[in-house]
Structures are given as structure tokens and as C-alpha cells.
Amino acid sequence: MAAQTPSGPGLSAVISRRESSLCNGISPWLSPVAMVVTIDLVLQGYFSELTVLDRQHLPLDGAVLLAPTHRARWDALMLPWAAGRRVTGRDCRFMVTADEMKGLQGWFLHRLGCFPVNQGRPTLASLRFSVELLACGQQLVVFPEGRIRREDGPIRLHQGLARLALLAASQGVEVPVVPVGIAYGHADPRPGDQAALCFGRPLRAEGQGRQAALDFSCELAAAMESAEQAARAVVGRPIGSP
């Protein structure tokens, strides 16, 4: 029998305890300030045009797991702009590598709802915390490629996201996994470029074990590639072009 996931006030207490061991949660004063600076000033000031495709595929309530392609550091601003609290009423909670949680950048990330994970070998604490966030109807972002990849080629995913989706399903937390394609006018985005983000149709992870994770990762990779192709067409740089 699957383990029961806490709910209601009990779940909030569990999340609070586990969150304190991983990050500082979401600062009520820093988060809105960061949104104005990073999205209204920096993101929209750097790019000449921002486009969202197929937003109807983004659930506006309930748990959701966003699985974006990772092409530039700008991705971390594109997602809150396209799917953050101004759109869905929820913040994007990011899984990031431990290295990104260090120094001055880490100080901010710790207070903006990000938390560290090793995608190759995620710890039980990070997986449990992720499932608990989803059980509370939160919006979680995981870059399943694990790193920024600017070159074209087959999309290869770590198994962390698939394992998380299967774990959540096994505990009765139904989680739509939304593939996301992100594209810029150049592989290394330049001032004045266009930028586009495309939401794919939500997927559902089913089954158990390693083979189920592999099968879902293959399905997800194909959906991410399709979403990226749509986004690349908008910025005038179809896959295969320089």
C-alpha cells in the first residue's frame, strides 16, 4: 500500500519543518521586489519581444510540474514571467543544483523558494519535500536536462523528474507534467533578441520502477522537443539553424 501523504494543517507543518532544512522559503518582501526588478525591468528591457504559446495547456490551479528545456540563464526569468504568481497566483518553486545555492546568488535563491537537488541521485529529503509541495497544489519547476545546453541535438534527460512524478503518483498526488520549450533569437541571447516560450500538453506518469521512469522520460523528451520547435519558429531560428 502506498504511503499516505499528510494533508491540511498537518501537511503545512511538515513542509515548514522540511523546508527549513533545505531553504528559507519565499520571502514576503523580497519576492515581489525581485519580480519587479527581474521581470519588469531586466527581462523586458533586455528582449525586444516576449511571446507565450499555448498557455491553455498550463493548469491554473492544483499541483503542476513544469519541465522546461534549458538554453540560457534567462530561462529562470522566463518561467515566472509566463507561469508565475501574476498568471497562476502561485510562485514557481525551482529545484536547482547545490552549486547554484552558494554565494550571493544562493542567498537570494534561498529566499525565493528555490531548493537544491542532485538530479542524478536526488536525496530522499528533497524528493519528499517536492511531493509535499505538490500535494499542497504548488507549482514546481525542474530542468530535467540538468544543465544549460545551447547546441542542437537530441534531448537527453536525467531520471530525477520522472522518479519524482512516479513517486507523487504512487502516493495519490496526481501531477500533470507540462513540457516547456524556451527559445531565443541566438543560442547565446543578445540584447534586442526575441524570446518565446511554449507550453506543451500535460503528461501523466504511470507505473513503477526503472522502466516506467525511462519510458516516461522518453515521452517527455519528445514533448519538450516539440514545444521547443514551436518556440524556435517564433524567434526565427528553427532547430538546425545557426
CA–CA distance, 122 with 97 (Å, rounded to integer): 10
Comparison of pLDDT for 17 and 62, the residue scoring more: 62
Report yes or no: 195 and 235 within 8 Å, Cβ to Cβ. Answer: yes
**Whole-number pLDDT of residue 2:** 33
Instruction: Give the closest residue to 58 by CA, choosing from 79, 38, 36.
Output: 79
**CATH fold label, 11-234:** Glycerol-3-phosphate (1)-acyltransferase (3.40.1130)
pLDDT bin (cut points 50, 70, 90) of residue 3 is: very low
Q: For 150-170, what is each residue's pLDDT tens digit?
A: 888 899 998 889 989 999 999
Q: Which residue has the higher pLDDT, 106 or 150?
A: 150
DSSP letters spanning 86-148: HHHSSPEEEEE-GGGGSHHHHHHHHTBT-EE--SSS--HHHHHHHHHHHHTT-EEE--TT-S-
How far apart CA 240 and CA 99 sit, in angstroms, is: 31
Which pLDDT score is estimated for 18?
Answer: 53
Distances in Å between the Cα of 124 and the Cα atoms of 25, 107, 165 are 19, 24, 14
Distance CA 112, CA 100 (A): 13
Confirm if 59 and 202 have CB atoms less than 8 A apart: yes
Higher pLDDT, 220 or 111: 220
Beta bridge partners of 92: 139
Residue 13 has pLDDT above 90, yes or no: no
pLDDT score, position 31: 85
Cα–Cα distance between 184 and 188 in angstroms, integer?
8
Q: pLDDT of 61-82, one tens digit each?
A: 889 999 999 999 999 999 999 9
Q: How far apart are CA 203 and CA 65, in angstroms?
A: 10
Mean pLDDT is lowest, of 23-27, 37-41, 46-50, for 23-27
Full-model pTM: 0.87
Q: Domain locations in the chain?
A: 11-234
205 Cβ neighbours under 8 A, 6+ residues apart: 162, 165, 166, 168, 169, 175, 177, 212, 216
Cell of 182: 524556451
